[in-house]
Amino acid sequence: MAASSSYRNLLRSGSVVTQSMTLQRIDRAERQISASPDDVYRAFLQPALLERWLPPAGMSGKVHEIDPTDGGGYVMSLYYHREAPAMLGKTSKHEDRFRVVFDHLEPRRQVVQRVVFDATDPSFEGAMKQTWTLGKVGQKTTVSVVCENVPEAIRPEDHAAGLKSSLRNLAAVVEAAD
């Protein structure tokens, strides 16, 4: 495998791993959260909670519609706060809109979903698969996410920062609920 088509980046401070192979990039992130798997799982299915934890730093979110069942999903927009964001949105200058399909929902254990961005740029095409796994460790829950088929236009360092930020937000939202 050529060096330019394969890399591995481990950011130890945030437990984020990015790995790319010839055709498909896989990004991973993990965090321990002081909340039950029930509370964490609920945050994936309730619009008000999704809006609070999923947008990374510098963004806010709006769930436009949701069907929290296997085969269901949601439509959501993330909005950049700054007038002139460092990166333009995928849908418009200040917006990233996407659709999520829930491929598998296993209460307290796992959410498997496909994310499709509403973008005209072909480098955002395709469905990114996200597998969120919840593991009980004592009084905490380990939340792991594996993102497969990450669109090439999403830079690994930006995705790593976004995943880390969203996991930090998720912890803040569900830990505050306890």
Find out whether 55 and 169 touch, Cβ atoms under 8 Å. Answer: yes
Nearest to 70 by CA among 102, 24, 28: 102
Average per-residue pLDDT in the chain? 84
pLDDT tens track for 14-65: 444 444 444 688 999 999 999 999 999 999 999 999 999 999 998 899 999 9
* C-alpha–C-alpha distance, residues 40 and 106, integer Å: 12
Q: What is the pLDDT of residue 159?
A: 93
Q: What is the pLDDT of residue 156?
A: 93
pLDDT tens track for 122-175: 888 889 999 999 999 999 999 999 999 999 888 899 999 999 999 999 999 999
Q: Is 3 exposed, middle or buried (0-12, 13-18, 19+ CB in 10 A)?
A: exposed
Find out whether 145 and 26 touch, Cβ atoms under 8 Å. Answer: no
Name the CATH superfamily for 3-177: START domain (3.30.530.20)
Find out whether 74 and 50 touch, Cβ atoms under 8 Å. Answer: yes
Residue 74 has pLDDT above 70, yes or no: yes
pTM: 0.82
Find out whether 8 and 21 touch, Cβ atoms under 8 Å. Answer: no
Domain ranges of the chain: 3-177
φ and ψ of 74, to 5 deg: -155, 160
CB 157: neighbour CB atoms within 10 A? 12
Reduced to 3 states (helix: H, G, I; strand: E, B; else coil), residue 175 is helix
